[in-house]
Structure 1
Amino acid sequence: MSRRYPRRRTGEDRTSLYDDITNKIIDELEAGQVPWVQPWGTVPANASLAMPKSAATGRQYSGINVLILWWAATERAYTGQSWLTFRQALSLGGHVRKGERGTTVVYADRFVPVDEKQRASENGDEAQAIPFLKRFTVFNTDQCDELPSEVAATAPPPPPDLIEPRVEKLIKATGIDFRIGGNRAFYVPAEDYVQVPPPQAYFEPINWHRTALHELAHATGHPSRLNRDLSGGYGTKKYAFEELIAEISSAFSCASLGIAPTVRHADYIGSWLKVLREDNRAIVRAASQASKVADYLLGFLPEDVADVTTERAEREAV
């Protein structure tokens, strides 16, 4: 009984969390809003465009936690993307203001119970790890007082003239066959190449970079790279799920590079909704894959132009 009870509670807690996150995204998609792009169009003009990070450790958040913290920053009009726990604020010499409401992020891992180790040892089996999900409450630095100036300060966005050169160098550094031309953006798995229309084909040239990063995300699924299943045809669940990965990955990459594009692929909202309604874990898995894709691509950014940390831990301890 001591083994089953925690396992059942953990499973129920995890399912509840998946439901909470999925339902929130479904609500926003049904309202015509794309959660992983919305923050760039609604936060205050002085907001810092960045990936969320721990103000105490400097580590960037990944996966579903990025979307959770972007939502919170958008809804509450925070000016930065630095977060910490109540105790971390105290350890830095500051404090969370009375009455402030925190934001829940999650930490996933696996552990092997002592009795399971003993059972496996006695039977000569491999011990089975049990997944667990832990929740943490974090606060934006905007919600705190008396923090050190270097922690509380909001980093300015990178100068506009650095954005295009960095993306161009990134594309070349990946070694992916990247072609500019035509009137459609796509990736061809069988021939392993990306094609994107020229920047002047876009009403807002900044959106060319978002599209390029989206198609490069698809290319990371090639067997020689991250080896994802790209066999889904248009209209299938596999296709919609891969589009989710590429779209969220593009958003993560844009945030890391300081690019603020507008929403794209609104025509995919219907297929995304279908996937999310049928699988309450889809968005968590897609966001996790998107983090891996963004990290893979940004890892090619030449050091002389990289001013953001792109190597994230697979799981972040708050």
Structure 2
Amino acid sequence: MPEKKGLELVHTELKRDTWLFPNISIHTPQEAVKAIADLLENMDREMVVVLHTTTKGRVISAAICSVGTMNEALVDPAGIFRTALLAGANNIFLFHNHPSGDCIPSNMDVLITKRVASAGDLMGIALLDHLIIGEGGRYFSFEEEAPQYLAPVSEKHRMNDGDSVQDDILAKVERAWERRERLRRETVEELLSLIKDGDTFYDPGWSREAMAPRNPVTGTVYKGSNRLILMLAAKKYAYRDPRWMTYKNLSGLGYHVKKGEHPKILEKWTFAEQRKLLDQNGMPVLDPRGRQIYEEVPLEKPLYRTFQVYNGEQIEGLPPYQKLSEKPGELEKKVDALIESSECTILETAQEEAFYQRGCDTIYLPLRSAFHGLEAFASTAAHEMIHSTGHPSRLNRAFGKWPAFGSPDDLYCMEELRAELGSLFLMNDLEIPLKPREKRSSAAYMDQYIRGLREHPNVLFRVAADAGRAADYLLERFEKIMKLEKKEDLLPEPQVRHRKEMYPAKKGRIL
């Protein structure tokens, strides 16, 4: 019988090897890095690994797609998606390591990310992130730092389980919110661990310099919740350096992170985006030099993302921070200018309590001589002045109530927390040394807002934002007063003339 010739019927199948980790789900870059870091972190050559996941983030399998040399590895999109298709994956995470230890993406890394994202768009398998693993737990996430290179999946495509792309986008949003909630709960617990037995925030252990965090490269002064996060980190690790930088900032200056150091995660909200300005015909609008003009367009929903920063004391070789010395008599000038800058009346009287009365818009303070130092007086005044910014004629906040017989309500407790944080911000912005306030926080509302923050962590971040606005409001008026005083100091001394020369004697006038 003659041998039959023609096409042979073949098939491919997925060969399953050893499991690297138990059944897990991935929703954030940090979770993705934790899952794969042990495999890639100590490799002496570049390796490309892909994780296959479902739309809900459950990891189906992992595949090693390439093993290269010390500084490169061949990345073939076909090889990446071959195992993804066989595994029935809806999404993938792409990883590769840099044996040099840094995790800054190269131009080729960016190009590969765009190619893989485009290929996934055609096949209906989304590239959720491309992560570069460095040394000592460092990593670079395209989703966090450069999401524009992760091309969105076309709405024409559907995932293998029938879920729409819109559902997948919503899942991403949910993961972002979960990441935010986890970060905020950690911050709340760090804060509450420092507040015990009704103590105020004015602990001598706080470093005045580190309480005013900023980025020396970009000039950014961290505000609101980010400021609170960095202040807590400075307190926890006894940092005296107010400088905080991203890995890109410090590596651009030629510095490296000390081995074993970990970054702090901060929040960033984007409320608008830059778009090309087009004319009625859809053509680009150019300036006189022929450059594209952009317009700022508000987003329907603000974008939330996180980024990482390192303190100056975590950076190898960074010159130590030089603290500026204070001039003699500077403290007195600052305290006087602070009191003078108040929009409401401040009365210093012989009494024990310090309080703000909203009805008559007046602050009542004990005499300065009753305080243990001018710093303690300033911190008490700052606390009450933060309260005064809530007046309807200023920032208009709800104060809440504390009945004569009963407990303070939630609004009252949050206003007290707002004043605590706001005065702490203000004192550090004014560079006035921190000393405990004479009026200690009442255990009644301390216990209540501690309990409230544990139940609703987001409240702390709203309060911190309000406290930052209140401190900035007072700081702006303070700076105006200080500028006026400086101008007066710079004015030339008036030429002294004899009184008789200035006012000649006239009949009937007594000199």
TM-score bracket, shorter-length normalisation: 0.7 to 0.9
451, 455, 459: which one aligns with 1:274 = 451
Counterparts of residues 1-318 of structure 1 (less than 5 Å): 1-30=167-196, 34=200, 36-38=201-203, 40-41=204-205, 48=209, 50-110=211-271, 129-147=300-318, 152-159=320-327, 161-181=329-349, 182-233=351-402, 235-264=408-437, 265-268=440-443, 269-303=446-480, 305=482
Deviations along 1:63-116, one digit per CA (max 9) or x if unpaired, are 12222212222222222111101110122232323332222222133479xxxx
SS at structure 1 position matched to 2:383? helix
CA RMSD, Structure 1 to Structure 2 (Å): 2.5
SS at structure 1 position matched to 2:397? coil
Question: Displacement of 1:303 after TM fit?
Answer: 4.9
Distance, in Å, in 2 between the alignment partners of 1:23 and 1:49 is 20
SS at structure 2 position matched to 1:10? helix
SS at structure 2 position matched to 1:56? coil
Alignment-derived partner of residue 314 in structure 1: none
SS at structure 1 position matched to 2:227? helix
Is the Cα contact below 8 Å between 2:213 and 2:230 reproduced in 1?
yes
Distance, in Å, in 1 between the alignment partners of 2:332 and 2:473 is 19
Question: Displacement of 1:223 after TM fit?
Answer: 0.8
Aligned in 2, Cα 1:18/1:74: closer, same or farther, shift over 3 Å? Answer: closer
- Structure 1: gaps spanning 5 or more residues: 113-126, 307-318
The structure 1 segments of at least 4 consecutive aligned residues displaced by more than 6 Å after TM superposition are none
Question: Displacement of 1:183 after TM fit?
Answer: 2.0
Distance, in Å, in 1 between the alignment partners of 2:258 and 2:302 is 35
Larger mean Cα displacement after TM superposition, 82-91 or 273-282: 273-282
Deviations along 1:229-257, one digit per CA (max 9) or x if unpaired, are 12433511111100011110000011111
Question: Displacement of 1:143 after TM fit?
Answer: 1.9
Is the Cα contact below 8 Å between 2:210 and 2:231 reproduced in 1?
no
Alignment-derived partner of residue 309 in structure 1: none
Distance, in Å, in 1 between the alignment partners of 2:261 and 2:230 is 15
Alignment-derived partner of residue 103 in structure 2: none
Distance, in Å, in 1 between the alignment partners of 2:314 and 2:458 is 31
Deviations along 1:250-305, one digit per CA (max 9) or x if unpaired, are 00011111122333424242232132133221211111100000000000123574
Larger mean Cα displacement after TM superposition, 137-146 or 281-290: 137-146
- Bigger Cα Rg: 2
Aligned in 2, Cα 1:304/1:297: closer, same or farther, shift over 3 Å? Answer: closer
Higher helix share: 1
SS at structure 2 position matched to 1:134? strand
Deviations along 1:35-63, one digit per CA (max 9) or x if unpaired, are x434x4255xxx73541111212221111
Distance, in Å, in 1 between the alignment partners of 2:197 and 2:310 is 27
- Structure 2: gaps spanning 5 or more residues: 1-166, 274-297, 484-511
SS at structure 2 position matched to 1:283? helix
Deviations along 1:109-134, one digit per CA (max 9) or x if unpaired, are 3479xxxxxxxxxxxxxx98334432
Ranked by relative contact order (alpha carbons within 8 Å, sequence separation 6 or more), the top structure is 1
SS at structure 1 position matched to 2:195? helix
What count of residue pairs does the alignment treat as equivalent?
A: 284
SS at structure 2 position matched to 1:275? helix
Is the Cα contact below 8 Å between 1:189 and 1:230 reproduced in 2?
no
Aligned in 2, Cα 1:33/1:203: closer, same or farther, shift over 3 Å? Answer: closer
Deviations along 1:212-234, one digit per CA (max 9) or x if unpaired, are 01101111001110111124335
Distance, in Å, in 1 between the alignment partners of 2:383 and 2:206 is 22
Larger mean Cα displacement after TM superposition, 49-58 or 186-195: 49-58
Distance, in Å, in 2 between the alignment partners of 1:65 and 1:157 is 27
2:187 corresponds to which letter in structure 1? Answer: I
Question: Displacement of 1:176 after TM fit?
Answer: 1.7
TM-score, normalised relative to structure 1: 0.80
SS at structure 2 position matched to 1:107? strand
Question: Displacement of 1:7 after TM fit?
Answer: 2.1
Is the Cα contact below 8 Å between 1:105 and 1:136 reproduced in 2?
yes
Question: Displacement of 1:157 after TM fit?
Answer: 4.8
Distance, in Å, in 2 between the alignment partners of 1:204 and 1:49 is 23
TM-score, normalised relative to structure 2: 0.51
